[in-house]
Structure formats: C-alpha cells, structure tokens
A and B are shown apart, each in its own frame.
Chain A
C-alpha cells in the first residue's frame, strides 16, 4: 500500500510545484480553504500561477496571500469582490481574470474530473460569458458549450480523512472541495484529523480515496470568519 500521509504541507508539495502551473483551490470565501497548502505555496515562491478558485481570499488571508506576493498570473473565479489588492492588480493589468458563473465553474471542474471534455448549459446565454463560445439548440432552446477544467494539482480541505484518503467534509466547508478533488492530476488534501482506515462509515464518505494522492493533517486552522453575523 502506497503511503499517502505526509508530515506537513511543504513535504507533501515536494516535486509538484513549477512556475506557470495551474492550481485548483477548494473553498468558498474563507470557508473550507486549504490554509496550510496556501501558506506552503506562498513560502515556496513558485510564480506565474493560474489559480482556479471560486474566490480569491481577502487582502491578508487565504489566496490573498499569493496575490500579495505576486505569485498569481491569472485567476479563474466567479466572485472576487472581497479583495482590494485584487482590484489594484487587475486594473493595472498585472493580473488576468476569467469570470465563470459559479455553477458553470463547479460543472467545469466536475467535467474535468469525470472525463467529459465539454458540456452545454443555458447559463450565460446572451451575455458576455457566451462570447466566442459555440452554441447549440436543443428542443428549441439555445445552450452554450463550456469546456472542462483540469489542474496540475488540486488542493482541498476536508474535515476528516482515513489513511487511504477517503474524505469527509463538514457543513458548508464542503463547497467546491469535492469537485476540485476529482480534477487535479495530483490531489492534495489537508484535514483536521486523520483516522485509521475502517473508522469512517463507508456509507458516508464524500470523496473516495481514489481521487486523493497526498494527505496532511494541518498544523493549525485559523478558520477566519469573513462576516460575523449573530442574532444576539
């Protein structure tokens, strides 16, 4: 049995990083982001990255850290409104940006992981998202063709893993992590705890270990809250 467990993020990333690579990063806002891998990638100094992620963190946390260090060349995202540094880099032309509707982004990742090169969707028909995209009529309705996304590596955050990389996520921290886990040529998961294989209920695995190549238990999790709202 190949050992999938690594001591820390830097060790797990060893041999995988190169300038100009494409990285998929799970998470929605700051919820369910692979904090430890992001820090390790920042420390590695790898640059000209294309990062596929729904958002781009905030100014001083999450993927915002890689913006501050000018390691990102292009973002593929659905919403980047929480980040001033992003605005600055984008308006000065230092950062490329490809907007995808959120559901289209999720499905492009799913397709990438499922061996489907492209699919048709009604989302974005008649908008600038449809520019230069092939269209086709099904049952009298127009659809646009969207292509699959794949990445050199996917970095995802789960709640628990076993030794085989079977993953369970927690609450809305699941978000993009499962689809991105399927679409990395190498997928690295970081989790809050690793248990022995057999301890997780096989009926309740969200990401089967076949998709997961390297696993770490994160050193610590800040789990920063973006908008604290209470009923008190």
Chain B
C-alpha cells in the first residue's frame, strides 16, 4: 500500500500556513487547493495575472476573460486582484511568494529539478516553472515516486534538462516524504504500509534516513 492521490494532496496541504501566498502547478498540485484546512487563509496565485484565485465557476458564470495558468476557466473571490505578467513574476522572482507546489520528471539528491522537457519528444516549454523555482521561498515537489516505466524519479543526478539547480526543499510522493537541508536529501516520512526497503528499491538517489 501507499498513499492515494488524495492522501498525497492532504500531506502537501500540511505545508500550508495561515496567510501564505501560494502558487500551485498544473496537474496534481492544483488539487491541493481542495485540502486547505478550514479557517486557514491561503491566497492562491495564478501566474497569468491573478491573486485570490477562486474555484471553477458554475456554467452560467463562465468567463473567457477569467482563466488560470492551466487555461482553465475559474472564478473570482472578494479578495481577488488582477495584474499583468511582469507584476506577476515580480511577485515570484522577488521572493514575495511563500510556497510553490509543482510536479516533476526527476529530482536529484542535491535538489536539482527537471520538470519541463524530454529531448526528442515534443518540447512544450517551461512556462513559469523556472521563475517559480528561482524565486519562491519554498519549493515542494508532489509526484509519483516512480515513472510510468517504473524507473526512479528521485535520482543521483538528473539526466533530463534542468528547471533549476538545488532548488527543491521537499518531495512528497505516494511512498513517502524527503526533505533537503543544505542540498542533502533525507527520507523523513514513510507512507502508509511502506517500508524502507520499498523506498530503497524505487529510489535512485543516495539518501539519509531521518524518520521521526
């Protein structure tokens, strides 16, 4: 057994704090918004130019002028603010954002991240990912522990083109949680019914074990 996607998102939500400004990446990280604890005030940023992103709208409220960075239609909240792309990345690059939760293709044991390109296949582009990992105070990676072909995604060194060097602070997978201190990786939590052996067999990186 391991964590389900919901359990992974719940674990990621433990990284949120009251008053945080947070950018959630496309895919599973977006779902973390559903697990913000009641009474906690977290402001979501969408890098196309919005703070205070609301949930998906009712059909009658669909507005083509109101989308998130994944190009999905969204809604406005009383605290919402709009701004241009330059302002948006000033917030990101200028260390004003508290937390970003992103997906990954590979994370290396020194905190290097690869999440934007697989050479030889279609190259879609990095979007805002390089800016986010360079500028947001804390970078959390939320991903499956292994790739679809069962190869490890937590590796000694990334073979795919990097998004950033030594930028990852925490990895949450279906098997457990790793943190980085001074660019050194440690296993700090095991998912339900997962053993240290399960982790070792599915991890390419050399890691320390600091389970609580």
Contacts and interface: CB of A to CB of B under 8 A. Distances in A.
Contacts of B134: 121-125
Contact of B55 (A82, A103, A231): A231
A172 B46 contact: yes
Given A126-B162, A172-B50, A172-B65, A178 B130 contact: no
B135 A31 contact: no
B157 to A, nearest CB: 12
A206 B86 CA distance: 13
B197 interface: no
Contact of A226 (B67, B82, B162): B67
A97 B73 CA distance: 28
B88 interface: yes
Contact of A171 (B82, B128, B129): B82
A96 B49 CA distance: 28
Interface in A96-137: 97, 99, 101-107, 109-110, 121-129
A29 B135 contact: no
Interface in A149-179: 159, 169-179
Nearest to A58: B71
A173 B46 CA distance: 13
B125 interface: yes
Given A174-B49, A229-B73, A123 B64 contact: no
Contacts of B135: 103, 122-123
A125 B165 contact: yes
Contacts of B72: 227-229
Contacts of A103: 47, 85, 88-89, 92-93, 128, 130-131, 135
A230 B125 contact: no
Nearest to B167: A126
A126 B89 CA distance: 19
B125 A231 contact: no
Interface string B63-89: 111111111111010000011111011
Contacts of B164: 125-127
Contacts of A227: 67, 70-73
A54 B67 CA distance: 15
B73 A102 contact: no
Contact of B130 (A31, A82, A101): A101
Contacts of A223: 64-65
B65 A129 contact: no
Nearest to A124: B130
Contact of A78 (B59, B126, B161): B126
B124 interface: yes
Given A28-B67, A106-B89, A179-B84, A127 B162 contact: yes
18 contacts: A30-B71, A31-B48, A79-B125, A80-B124, A82-B71, A91-B122, A102-B47, A126-B162, A129-B126, A170-B65, A171-B63, A172-B50, A175-B84, A178-B84, A178-B86, A206-B84, A226-B67, A228-B73
